[in-house]
Amino acid sequence: MTLEFEDAFIGRAKNRHFLRDDAPATTPATDRERGTSVDDDMPRVAIVHDWLVTYAGAERVLEQIITCFPDADIFSVVDFLEDRSFLHGKRAATSFIQNLPFAKKRYRAYLPLMPLAIEQLDLSGYDLVISSSHAVAKGVLTGPDQVHVSYVHSPIRYAWDLQHQYLQQSNLTAGAKSLFARLILHYMRNWDIRTSNSVNHFIANSEFIARRIHKVYRRSSKVIFPPVDVASFEPCADKEDFYLTASRMVPYKKIDLIVKAFARMPERKLVVIGDGPEMAKIRARATPNVEIMGYQPFSVLHDRMRRAKAFVFAAEEDFGISVVEAQACGTPVIAFGKGGALETVRDVSSLQPTGMFFPTQTPEAIVDVVDAFETGVFTFTPADCRANAERFSNARFREELRAHVARIAPQFVLPPLPDEEKPLAPVKDEPQSDLRVLAVDQSGALGGAELSMLEVVKNMRGDVQTVLFDDGPFRIALEAVGVKVDVLDGKSLGDLRKDGKARPGAGMLRGVLRLLRGTLEKSRNADVIYVNTQRAMVIGAIAGLISRRPVVWHLRDIVSEEHFGRTQLAIIKWCTKLMLEHVIANSTASAAAVTALTRLREERLDVVFNGISAEPFANLESVGQHELRARFGLPQDAFLVGCFSRLARWKGQHVLLEALRECPDMHAVLVGAALFGENDYEAELRAFVLEHDLADRVHFLGFQDDIAACMKAVDIVTHTSIMPEPFGRVIIEGMLSKRPVVASRAGGVMDIVEDGENGILCSPGDAAELARVLERLKGNAPLRERLVEQGYVNATSRFGTQRYVESVEKILTDVAQRARKRG
């Protein structure tokens, strides 16, 4: 080491020591160095976050830090946020990882590069650096005249005390991959310790994490609990007879333990809210007393939290925001007695307890503590729970953070906190997209696939042009909402069937070439080709290959031998593997089928549930059912069971007619026409009605534009498909019409209906079972009312049009951008 280098090194080390927690803060940089006027002591602030991909606990902290320092600039390893509202319109400066392949979905795979990435962020122009870190953010490089305050959610969990758990869950306990992973984690630990020396002041999010910081870094830290939006939760004193747990379904949350425990307590009901990788595993373990609701919006979560008798929490969390949220609702907590919960829940040894702890993460321990809770020996009041939650409010966090920064860095004049009564400035509307989309569909009829596509193209912000292979009501509907439409001559494809029984002749091949030429001509001005149906996919895929435009297929079928012939399946398989950029599946059933057929990689497939607008149904709220029945010529006093679908054998209208023979006091209403050459089936239905003297109880309404009015005219909506349905749009529409729904237990229906909660499921094709269910519903008004209530919540919260359209548009935009980068 040269003498000059040694002197410089010692000088930097002295400056670094001077800024440690046990010493006063450094003097500010000179005005010339900071580029500010003498009168301006306001620091330039940089906020560094690990990665921006979602809005969870760490991001809630980030949101409040930004509120304290509204002029700060944001830095992050990657930024793939869709909802940016909590950043108040800010965008993060990112690292080179942002542009690496598959970074959006697999950013964690680049963990070995993150130390290098975070060190490349240039923060040299800032006076105050605040890092929000649970991985690498605290490792950002800062100079001796900069103050670096690190709010630590945890030292890197999977590199320290959770390493063995991480390796086990990742199946990396042995072999070459395990050795490589252990070497990477060893490197991360060394880097983590080294970079802790460049932090001037640590803030821990709990005493638990403060102990972890001291053990790992040998540094002291100030504890400032994370912010919880307590004001958004309202306490409720009237508790109902069910327990609640809510969390992302990942292994360390231990939702499976809670479900196992309640499986041993069939007399006690558990409600589970959340989604994630372990959803299928948890559903498989659920017993009838366990309701798996999946993802739910805040309104539903809030409602269940307020009404639950207790909130059950089995994870070892650093803090545990949901535990505080439950208490803000006046709901006591049953939690694993380790980690942050020990600081946020007051157990029965306190004068004003707010919950109970169980000692081990086992089903037996949970059963024991729930039994103790049920004895009523201990008293938990909503007022005590709420008062305890108030200790963790947003306002309290901002006050403590600012006070701490003012104490450790008195040279800075901090910006005033925003007026609590005044909302922050609204985020500016995003500019209209410059995305150019060519949407292609094979049909002119208004089937379910076309109605779902209509919602996308009429609400998309970019420039959308549509090509249809046939004329009809779909073209009229598109033009009515201002979408440009070109109709190509696809009549020569009319005899081409899904089952592959029709053989392509010379005329059909000429027709295919005409469609290809027309689609190819329109595609040259598009950034992406969006194909909606199977025939359109084949034509669009070839056109995209020739024009070098990426093709996205919105898959609305289950591509299996039940629905398609071998030739069609082979065409689908190779077009998908070789010519398509991306596939959007409308249900998990559709996604599973196309994955089984094509072995499509995960990054090329997304599941986006169809969105159905509630507006047509809401517009009829003030219209009496008797008026709607009069409009369609339906009997006023009859109990009407409706079936809403095109007339096709696999849609199963005959099952309803067979069930009707066992339900003499009911009428059936069939809404739909034989759209795709299925006239023989319609004739069979009408013959069955005459043969069994059902003519006065079966009402064929044919094709109807106003489905909402038709559904509100009946008493029950049925879905009778005898083969797995790709999605089941009619089920959502039935829920929006506020009618109880009975559906076939198969396919995409399973994404929509929770049996006995928001609808009733029947075995496909079982007319006797359907008849029993219909009779049960007819005689049980409270059950019908409960199904209607839960069905409407399910339809509006999970299947709204905004989320649907935004998800599809985001996928199309991402695909187009990737194509541009490839040149």
**DSSP letters spanning 552-578:** EEEE-S--STTTS-HHHHHHHHHHHHH
Domain 3-223 fold: Rossmann fold (3.40.50)
Residue 678's pLDDT band (boundaries 50, 70, 90)? confident
Q: Tell me the average pLDDT of the chain.
A: 87
Q: Could you tell me the pTM of the whole model?
A: 0.49
pLDDT in tens, 361-410: 999 999 999 999 999 888 899 999 999 999 999 999 999 999 999 999 88
Where do the structural domains in the chain lie, given as residue ranges? 3-223, 230-392, 436-611+803-822, 615-799
Exposed, middle or buried: residue 646 (CB in 10 Å: 0-12, 13-18, 19+)? buried
- Cα–Cα distances (Å) from 816 to 46, 69, 306, 469, in that order, read 32, 36, 44, 24
Q: What is the pLDDT of residue 299?
A: 87
Segment 326-355 mean pLDDT: 92
Assess whether pLDDT exceeds 70 at residue 283: yes
- Cα–Cα distances (Å) from 540 to 37, 469, 513, 533, in that order, read 61, 12, 12, 10
pLDDT in tens, 615-667: 889 889 888 999 999 999 999 999 999 999 989 999 999 999 999 999 999 99
- Cα–Cα distances (Å) from 636 to 460, 625, 667, 695, in that order, read 41, 9, 11, 17
- Cα 243 from Cα 304, distance rounded (Å): 9
Q: Are 66 and 48 in contact (CB under 8 A)?
A: no
- Cα 142 from Cα 130, distance rounded (Å): 11
Q: What is the pLDDT of residue 122?
A: 95
Q: Considering the domain 615-799 in this protein, what is its CATH number? A: 3.40.50.2000
Domain made up of 230-392: CATH architecture: 3-Layer(aba) Sandwich (3.40)
Q: Which CATH class is domain 436-611+803-822?
A: alpha beta
Lowest mean pLDDT among 382-386, 496-500, 780-784: 496-500
Say yes or no: do domains 230-392 and 615-799 share a fold.
Answer: yes
